[in-house]
Amino acid sequence: TISQAARLLDYGFATAPGTKVGTLIEPDPSLGATDADPAAAAATTPPPQLAAFHDQQITWQPCDGFATSAADRALYANDRFDCARVQVPLDYADPDGPRGQVALLRAKARGEKIGSLLVDPGGPGGSGASFVASLGPVWDNVPVGERFDVIGFDPRGVGASPPRGDC
């Protein structure tokens, strides 16, 4: 439903090229997805102090500089992948304070794109970007990879998402 998608987007990720971070994309009506709950839609409006984070534009680029290991450098060199970073507050209680970044890696849809899927391999401490890249051959051979961009992210402090955690 739209409200489920909006909850995913509330973490700061857009689902279509050129959209603002946190922007909800209306589903394709032919897929039968609707949301009859206006309260759920209103609940996805970001607080004003977080608007700068939700209003970011994702700028996709080649993945040079995103890999943190030799294995990832080899994986990320595939032209099917592109990468980006979005700004996040280090402390959501102090959104004007220090910022971090969340790194994204996108496996572009091979055919007519109908949307994007955000993948989180779980954790703690796992790189979602590396996970999506390592499954490149899978996305090449399944219907999901035909119709959807598949996006992985490195959680704050992991992989290509600075600042690095220091425990």
Most confident option among 16-20, 23-27, 34-38, 67-71:
67-71
What is the C-alpha to C-alpha distance for residues 78 and 13, in angstroms, rounded to an integer?
A: 23
Instruction: Examine the pLDDT at 62 and tell me if it is beyond 90.
Output: yes
Can you give the pLDDT at residue 51? 86
Question: Rounded to 10 degrees, what is the CA torsion of 50, 24, 110, 74?
Answer: 20
Residue 85: phi and psi, rounded to 5, are: -130, 145
Can you give the pLDDT at residue 17? 46
Instruction: Examine the pLDDT at 22 and tell me if it is beyond 70.
Output: no
Q: What's the pTM?
A: 0.73
pLDDT 10s digits, 97-147: 999 999 999 999 999 999 999 988 877 788 999 999 999 999 988 999 999
In this structure, the strands spanning 99-107 and 115-119 are unpaired
- To the nearest whole number, what is the mean pLDDT of the chain? 78
Can you give the pLDDT at residue 42? 59
What is the C-alpha to C-alpha distance for residues 3 and 57, in angstroms, rounded to an integer?
A: 22
Residue 55: phi and psi, rounded to 5, are: -90, 5
What is the C-alpha to C-alpha distance for residues 131 and 136, in angstroms, rounded to an integer?
A: 9
Can you give the pLDDT at residue 162? 85
